[in-house]
Structure formats: C-alpha cells, structure tokens
Amino acid sequence: MPPPPDHALEFLDITCTFRSKDDPSQRYTAVADTTLRIAAGEFVSVVGPTGCGKSTLLNIGAGLLQPSSGEVKVFGHALAGINTRAGYMFQSEALMPWRSTLDNVMVGLQYRGVPDDDARAQAQAWLARVGLSGFGDRYPHQLSGGMRKRTALAQVLALDPDIILMDEPFSALDVQTRQLMENEVLELWAAKRKAVLFITHDLDEAIAMSDRVVVLSAGPGTHPIGEFDIDLPRPRDVAEVRTHPRFVELHTQIWNVLRDEVLKGYAQQLKKAA
C-alpha cells in the first residue's frame, strides 16, 4: 500500500539546544538539523543509542518542548503549543495515582467536555479492549506494570488521536508481557491505522512493528543517519516474525549502521563519567 501523500507529522530542520541553568555558557545540542516525515497511517520507529535525544525529538513533536530552530507541522499546519491531534504514551508512569483505572482512562474525555456517563461508557469499552474490564475500580499502585501500561494505552487511545507518539513504552516490561503488548498495539493500530512515531532502543522491536525504521546518530547533535523500509508482510506476530529470513537480513543491515553509533555513544558516556 503506498503511503497517502499527506504527512501527519513533519519535523523540518529541527535543532534543539539546551542551556545549562547554572552556567549559561554551557550548551548541549541534543538534536541537530533533523528532518523527519511521518505519513498518515504510517508506523515509524526511531532507534538510536541511549541518551541520543530520541525523547527530545518526541517531546518536540508533542509540543511539550519548543525547538531552538526549525518547524513542526501537523497535517500541514505549523504546530504552536500542545499538539492536540497527538496522543503520547510516556516511558515512565504517567497515570494519576489518585484516580482509579477507569477514572484515568476517562479523564481525557472529561477534559474535552464529554458528559461523565458517556465518558465512562467509552472508557469502559477501552478497558475491555486492552483486557482490563473488571479492573476499573483499582488504583494504579494495585496493578502490575503490564496492566498499568495497558491502562496508559487505553488512556491515550480513548481520545482517538490521529498521531500516536510512544516513548519506549514497553522498556520496563518483562519479555513475555512485552511481546503480548506489542502484538496488541499492532492489532489496534491495524484496525485504526493511525500515524505512529515509536521510539525504542530495541532494534528487534522496531523492525517487528514498523513500516519504516529511522536510525539516529549518537549525541550530541543527533540526526538521522539511515532509513530502512520494512517490507515484511502484515499482519505480523512480533515473536514469529523474528525468524523470517527477511527480518534477519534487515536486522543485519540496520545493525551495521547502528553499531558504530552505539559504540560512539558508549565511549562518550564513559568519557563523561571519567
């Protein structure tokens, strides 16, 4: 299927420089001259060494962070403030601990002025879809890590965003739970076909899930250094697709690019620690 011509999310020449609060002369350029386009309905993964500025890029796309230069466009319109057409799934715990699971899922709908009864019914349906019906009255601390991630997923999807931003959402989960969640996300994505920007450091996960994998260089001044179309057949099962010969081939290709960057990033971290 050729991607539709219009882009859901475009990063155009983005540079993001942080200034140290204590010492304004200390600067750190996290992202430099990055251009990245995500088509509507496309699943794009971004991989890169740790600490290379992947999350910075995502925060810029979400509108939580202003780039130092460059422009973000959402369906052709320049982004100002929060990206209201995007849903964001955070790496760390983002649920409100004082709200039950159901209340957490319906809070976004309430923000949008949906009447409580209606919001509750929709949230109930989303909880059922992520396999958590019957857990609506639990508080986040009473759930396992995987269930909390499911709740967060339902919370994001309940608003039916056109763009979904995911920041290593499953990195804290064990391997089995993670594969289950990855398959669930793929299934939900296949049904709705939203644009997804998926950040991960796990190359297997990136290849198994995406249409396209973008490799970022080691920081500082992170920028894309390679793009790979993943032409594996869909629907995929993230566990089975790993044995596909084409998967192995792509993995080798991408890893060749990524390896040098990972080593570079590691050397830099050692230097910083010294």
Partner 1 sequence: MSLRPNERNARAWQLALLVAMLGLWHLASRNQQFAFFLGEPIQVAGRIWSWFLPFDVPANALFPDGLKGNADVYRHLGTTLVETVLAFVIGTVLGLACGLWLALAPTASLILDPYIKAANSMPRVILAPIFSLWFGLGIWSKVALAVTLVFFIVFFNVYQGVREVSPVVLANARMLGANRRQLLRTVYLPSATSWVFSSLHTSVGLAFVGAVVGEYLGSARGVGYLILQAEGTFDVNTVFAGIVVLTGFALLLDALVGLVEKRLLKWQPRSGETEKL
Query: Nearest-CA neighbor of 13 among 53, 65, 57?
Result: 57
The nearest distance, CB 140 to partner 1, in angstroms, is 8
Taking phi first (over 0 means left), then psi (-120 to 50 degrees means alpha), and beta for anything else, what does residue 3 get?
beta
Closest to partner 1 by CB, 96 or 263: 96
How far, in Å, are 19, 21, 27, 28 from residue 24 at the CA level? 6, 6, 7, 11
Q: Does 86 bind partner 1 (CB under 8 A)?
A: yes
Out of 80, 96, 125, 267, point to the residue binding partner 1 (CB under 8 A).
96
The nearest distance, CB 127 to partner 1, in angstroms, is 16
Out of 90, 135, 255, 266, point to the residue binding partner 1 (CB under 8 A).
90
For partner 1 (CB under 8 A), the number of binding residues is 28
Site for partner 1 in 220-239 (CB under 8 A): none
Site for partner 1 in 168-207 (CB under 8 A): none
Out of 99, 223, 242, 244, point to the residue binding partner 1 (CB under 8 A).
99
Taking phi first (over 0 means left), then psi (-120 to 50 degrees means alpha), and beta for anything else, what does residue 131 get?
left
Q: Does 144 bind partner 1 (CB under 8 A)?
A: no
Residue 53 contacts residue 18 (beta carbons within 8 Å): no
CA-based end-to-end distance of the chain: 50
Q: Does 125 bind partner 1 (CB under 8 A)?
A: no
> Binding residues for partner 1, per CB under 8 A?
62, 64, 82-84, 86-88, 90, 92-100, 107-108, 110-112, 139, 141-142, 155, 159
